[in-house]
Amino acid sequence: MLRRFFPPLQWLPAYRRDTLRGDLSAGLTVGVMLIPQGMAYALIAGLPPIYGLYASLVPLVIYALLGTSRQLAVGPVAMVSLLVAAGVAPLAEGDPGQYVTLALLLAFMVGVIQLGLGLLRFGFLVNFLSHPVLTGFTAAAALIIGLSQLKHLLGIPLPRSNHIHEILWSAVQQVGAVQVPTLLIGLGGIVVLVGLKRWKKTAPGALVLVVLGTLVVSLGDLEAAGVAVVGEVPRGLPVPTLLSLDLGLMQALLPIALTIALVGFMESIAVAKVYAARNRYEVDANQELIGLGLANVAGSFFQAYPTTGGFSRTAVNAQAGANTTVASLISAGVIGLTLLLLTGLFHDLPNAVLAAIVLVAVAGLIDWKEIRFLWQVDRKDFALFLLTFVATLGLGIEEGILVGVVASVALVVYQSAKPHTAVMGRLPGTDTYRNVVRHPQAQMPPGVAVLRMDASLYFANAAHFQEVVRATVQDETLQAVVLDAYPINQIDATGVHALKRICEDLKAQGIDFYIAGAKGPVLDRLYRAGMRETVGNTCFYHTVHEAIVQRDEVRPSMLQNTRFVHLVPA
């Protein structure tokens, strides 16, 4: 019990010096990576860069104590930062103090929602974000994030907007006002980052760029030339603050808080599962919600805006040898020391360098491989991807996800409303029955139609099912229908009615009806509905072949080889 709520108790007894060595290396690497990344992501969120460091402190410590993943690197991430900006900017009305207050209130709400979902064991909700929806949403978000950084790259004011054309048009109009030194630093930064990454995957590119950029601005006195810099950064650890819980503001923030709670958890659990499988341990979705939730709640009292487990940093963490969440504690230590000792060094860091870090990071969010995969494997899923992408750009961040989720559920129901059906024949030399259209060599037993519908039998397709059977029995010479019921995964009351009605109709026409391969849960329901009385007790078989052999008087010998096993309803 205690081990479930404090997962570190599971690995702590086996903690050795070797374990620490890996954790130390990983913790230092991620900590150093967090300094520029945190500040850059704070810019996406529309917050002063220092808040990216604040968000990299307390949440890491809390997750280290409560999380079930041993490699997950919690902290500010690009997607959640974008969602924070989308939700907070319209409410802050240009007041920077209010902006910070709202961002922290949002972290508190996200934490409470995740905690609640975890305690209620609602972790499964996250499964409703399908691959195509996530891919489309992420690609659109990457575009929006990228464009939000254009102003830092060009050194001109641009409107904060979801509408690409507004931003681009505004940029074109101000093309004469572009600050060339800022642009050069930004483009140079991108070249350095991409170059370093090509040269060596584990190179601490962002850190190198931060040092280079700061030096260039300092030595060239470029701040005087108009290059925007991070400026005065307050020294010291974040001051604990009590949030005032304004109900009106909380109501206004609720939709975005729900979105961040789910999207943030989604990103986190996806990467956590990858490394859990790779290192042979289990992550518990509900405990993860509890851990991330409490990290956000506790963080919100220490100036941290919403955080979650990130893809790229977790990869670095694992690669650098993280064995347990002790690595996270060490990363938090690096950030803590930075806040206490090094903030003075950030004064001359140009915003264009942070923008370059963001742009290189989000370019990787557009998953071209997955988009090609969707196109090849499933055009409907590709359409879902496209719909979510367009809806996110056109309607907004939360609306895009909502449209995607509703459309994917609707598509599933729609597909099962008119499912694939097949008339089956026996594959020569086997007891297997397959679709005669796909297997022209399959032999249809004379006078018997073997039918299959590839769906659960329920209200959405019960009428369609009846029509399929009625269309099949137009054949005058038909003596029997065998329904292959093995693909019927669920049956509801409407489905049971349809099956009974079909059976009565066939009886009235003098056609026998056999149900083959119905599975336990379906059989239970059919028996309770009195189906044995309607079809006849002897009309249930394990397989299509059994049903056909049983009624085939010409070859009774095969029947003797088959032992009919009584089906036991639970």
Task: Kindly identify the residues of this chain, within the stretch 430-469, that bind a copy of itself according to CB under 8 A.
Answer: 430-432, 434-435, 437-439, 441, 454-456, 458-464
| Residue 279 engages a copy of itself in binding (rule: CB under 8 A) | no
- Residue given tokens 């299959």 in the structure block: 452
Q: Which amino acid is at 100?
A: V
Q: Using CA of residue 123, residue 127, residue 131, residue 134, what is the dihedral sign?
A: negative
Coil, strand or helix: which one is 448?
strand
**Integer Cα distance of 123 and 119 in angstroms:** 9
Q: Residue 556 or 569: which CB sits closer to a copy of itself?
A: 569
Helix (H) / strand (E) containing 532: helix 531-535
Q: Which of 470, 475, 533, 538 binds a copy of itself (CB under 8 A)?
A: 470
How many residues contact a copy of itself, by CB under 8 A? 78
Task: Looking at 55-161, list the stretches that DSSP marks H as alpha helix, in order from N- to C-terminal side.
Answer: 58-66, 78-92, 96-119, 131-148, 150-154
Coil, strand or helix: which one is 235?
coil
Q: Which amino acid is at 234?
A: P
Q: Segment 73-132, which members bind a copy of itself (CB under 8 A)?
A: 124, 127-132
**Is-contact 291 54, C-beta < 8 A?**
no
Q: Residue 40 or 522: which CB sits closer to a copy of itself?
A: 522
Q: Which amino acid is at 63?
A: Y
**Integer Cα distance of 461 and 492 in angstroms:** 11
For 444-455, b/e burial (b = at least 16 CB within 10 A) is ebeebbbbbbeb
Q: Residue 197 or 434: which CB sits closer to a copy of itself?
A: 434
Q: How many CA atoms lie within 13 A of 157 on its CB side?
A: 1
Q: How far is the CB of 460 from a copy of itself (least distance, A)?
A: 5
Q: Which of 159, 191, 418, 533 binds a copy of itself (CB under 8 A)?
A: 418
Q: Residue 438 or 555: which CB sits closer to a copy of itself?
A: 438
Q: Which of 3, 528, 533, 538 binds a copy of itself (CB under 8 A)?
A: 528
Q: Which of 236, 377, 446, 510 binds a copy of itself (CB under 8 A)?
A: 377
Q: How far is the CB of 458 from a copy of itself (least distance, A)?
A: 6
| Residue 277 engages a copy of itself in binding (rule: CB under 8 A) | yes
Binding pattern to a copy of itself, positions 534-563, x when CB under 8 A?
--------xx-----------------xxx
**Is-contact 292 52, C-beta < 8 A?**
no
Q: Segment 357-376, which members bind a copy of itself (CB under 8 A)?
A: 373-374, 376
Closest CA to 114 of 248, 306, 272, 279: 306
Q: Considering only 174-182, 250-258, 324-332, 485-493, which stretch makes contact with a copy of itself by CB under 8 A?
A: 485-493
**Is-contact 545 558, C-beta < 8 A?**
no
| Residue 413 engages a copy of itself in binding (rule: CB under 8 A) | yes
Closest CA to 408 of 425, 383, 371: 383
Q: Tell how far CA 211 is from the center of its chain.
A: 35
The CA-atom distances, in angstroms, between 150 and each of 158, 230, 352 are: 8, 16, 9
Q: Which of 173, 202, 490, 538 binds a copy of itself (CB under 8 A)?
A: 490
Q: Which of 343, 416, 472, 550 binds a copy of itself (CB under 8 A)?
A: 416
**Is-contact 401 136, C-beta < 8 A?**
no
Coil, strand or helix: which one is 396?
coil
Q: Segment 202-261, which members bind a copy of itself (CB under 8 A)?
A: none
Q: Tell how far CA 175 is from the center of its chain.
A: 39
Q: Residue 360 or 469: which CB sits closer to a copy of itself?
A: 469
| Residue 565 engages a copy of itself in binding (rule: CB under 8 A) | yes
Q: How far is the CB of 543 from a copy of itself (least distance, A)?
A: 6
Q: Which of 161, 173, 202, 489 binds a copy of itself (CB under 8 A)?
A: 489
Q: Which of 529, 532, 552, 559 binds a copy of itself (CB under 8 A)?
A: 529
Q: Residue 11 or 128: which CB sits closer to a copy of itself?
A: 128
Q: Residue 554 or 565: which CB sits closer to a copy of itself?
A: 565
**Integer Cα distance of 145 and 130 in angstroms:** 22
Q: Which of 195, 231, 428, 556 binds a copy of itself (CB under 8 A)?
A: 428
Q: Residue 90 or 520: which CB sits closer to a copy of itself?
A: 520
| Residue 380 engages a copy of itself in binding (rule: CB under 8 A) | yes
Q: Which of 118, 293, 419, 425 binds a copy of itself (CB under 8 A)?
A: 419
